[in-house]
Amino acid sequence: MKEWARQKAARKARIEAGSRHARGKAVAVTDLQDFLEAVLQPGDRVCLEGDNQKQADILAAALADVDPAKIHDLHMVQSGVVLPEHLDIFEKGIARRLDYSYSGPQAARIARMLFGGQIELGAVHTYLELFARYFVDLTPNIALIAAVSADADGNLYTGPNTEDTPTIVEATSFKGGLVVAQVKEIVDKVPRVDIPGDQVHFVVAAGKPFYVEPLFTRDPAAITETQILTAMLAIKGLYAPYGIRRLNHGIGFNTAAIELLLPTYGEKLGLRGKVCTHWALNPHPTLIPAIEAGWVEQVHCFGSEVGMEDYIRARSDIFFTGPDGSLRSNRAFCQTAGLYSCDMFIGSTLQIDLQGHSSTVTASRIAGFGGAPNMGSDPRGRRHPSEPWLKAGAEANPDTPAHMRRGRKLVVQIGETFGDKNVPLFVERLEALTLAEKLKLDLAPIMVYGDDVTHIVTEEGIANLLLCRDRDEREQAIRGVAGYTDIGRGRDAKMVQQLRERGAIRRPEDLGIDPLDADRRLLAARSIKDLMLASGALYAPPPQFRNW
């Protein structure tokens, strides 16, 4: 007779083993190492919650302390490899295989460990893709997650950083897996139920909040006039003509500049209510002035942002909030929103090649993808029209009959021709390719493929790749906005001039923009303090951003 409930039996055994180190569902921090050694099995597939923001840090530390003789060869399946412990477990032999999405702060170390063969890499995913696999072939046996508080039944309150938690728990708990949550405290009644207790098997009261990084805060003081110029180009040259109402902004100073120009430059152009009304976006502090000026109707968030709690609570018409008043974020739904209901994704990258492929991977740093591949791709399953989407589709395929012609998502790369430390943005060959060869990867870690990119914006102008009809035109359009980089200097001046005449390249002067007007006085807030003041003192910047 075949057994058909082995997974539930295995979970029951794990619960029994874990219960010997628990009181009811409660595990003491001091018992955590013994507890994990009791519930884990070698070879388990484990999701240790960590994305680009919130971290199950107490559980990560405890996992890094288990005895590798007892627990080894774990297969980690998690959004973020962010804390040192996330890699320590590989060094110690506790974990062996990794499927993940993002590794910003660990980018250099993860690269070294991959080169050294200490990590067996499954794949680097975009968030939604990894979540998808949680339900198909990467379902966790154990989820180690983070919340704000729990009650005795295990009902969890995640507070504003709900993020990945519901997705991880659903995949794990309903497929015979074990869910262990760290919380700050166990309370009589949670402020709201983000995760029902019957999906949660054990709770650890850590006595302190989970670690969370203010990753989406950009200090307006650091925005340069070149970034302001690229923002003006984007607003006047893209947002206005396409009429972009539903969008996502990446993380970075160029898009922060756009956010801060909406109430000033955007207002002057008469765009309020016509662009940037609906967002899939983390609660960026730099969006505060635009919200206060009445530009924004609605924002759905992947996660939250440190210091924005009170502001969000006081602006519930804009944000998704719970009965407790705090944000309800949800990375899976926000990525879905970014994929299927945004007309534009605009973000920055480290390297762009002559075909428009881009990557943040360098020979010594593997930062992972996060949400960019998902939001920076054309969703071919989309079936609802919108003005910007149809216009972009018509530019790309002028010869296809209108009602047979799909639209196109606008996928925009924005940056300065020379980035940090004067490193050129444009390159002949992405370092991602060298890395792929070195690691013998089936697929180079391209963040956004050139055939999905529609526009590239630099201080020299906008390249509209939708209007390029072949590989050569595409290359020259890119060279044509690549400034004084080697790529830019390698342009065919005559072809670039022709592309400009056709509108495939637009210079500031073609758009009636005087680069001298790109002045920091245009920013609706010029400092973190300005943002705080614009919020009516509701925004409470984290200490590292306070200098007053």
With respect to its own copies, which residue has the nearer C-beta, 57 or 452?
452
Shortest spacing between CB 394 and its own copies, in angstroms: 11
Helices then strands, counting H and E runs in the chain, come out as 21, 24
At 209, is the secondary structure helix, strand, or coil?
coil
What DSSP assignment string belongs to 367-408? -B-TTHHHHTS--TT-----HHHHHHHHHH-TTS-GGG----
Nearest to 19 by CA among 34, 8, 5, 2: 34
- Cα atoms in the Cβ-side hemisphere of radius 13 Å centred on 367: 17
Q: What is the 3-state secondary structure (H, E, C) of 43-90?
A: CCEEEECECCCEECHHHHHHHHCCCCCCCCCEEEEEEECCCHHHHHHH
With respect to its own copies, which residue has the nearer C-beta, 434 or 497?
434
Shortest spacing between CB 336 and its own copies, in angstroms: 5
Shortest spacing between CB 70 and its own copies, in angstroms: 26
With respect to its own copies, which residue has the nearer C-beta, 84 or 385?
385
Phi, psi of 142 (to 5 degrees): -135, 135
Q: In the structure encoding, which two tokens stand for residue 174, read together?
A: 């309903």
With respect to its own copies, which residue has the nearer C-beta, 396 or 505?
396
With respect to its own copies, which residue has the nearer C-beta, 186 or 436?
436
With respect to its own copies, which residue has the nearer C-beta, 440 or 494?
440
Please report where in the chains the tokens 């920013």 appear, as a residue: 523
Q: What order of strands is seen across the sheet that includes strand 120-124?
A: 22-23, 26-27, 202-205, 178-183, 142-146, 45-48, 74-80, 95-102, 120-124
With respect to its own copies, which residue has the nearer C-beta, 302 or 418?
302
Report the C-alpha gap between 393 and 400 in whole angstroms: 10
Shortest spacing between CB 317 and its own copies, in angstroms: 5
Amino acid at position 108, single letter: A
Shortest spacing between CB 273 and its own copies, in angstroms: 14
Shortest spacing between CB 523 and its own copies, in angstroms: 22
With respect to its own copies, which residue has the nearer C-beta, 68 or 325?
325
Shortest spacing between CB 494 and its own copies, in angstroms: 29
Contacts of residue 484, Cβ cutoff 8 Å, sequence gap at least 6: 417, 418
Shortest spacing between CB 407 and its own copies, in angstroms: 8
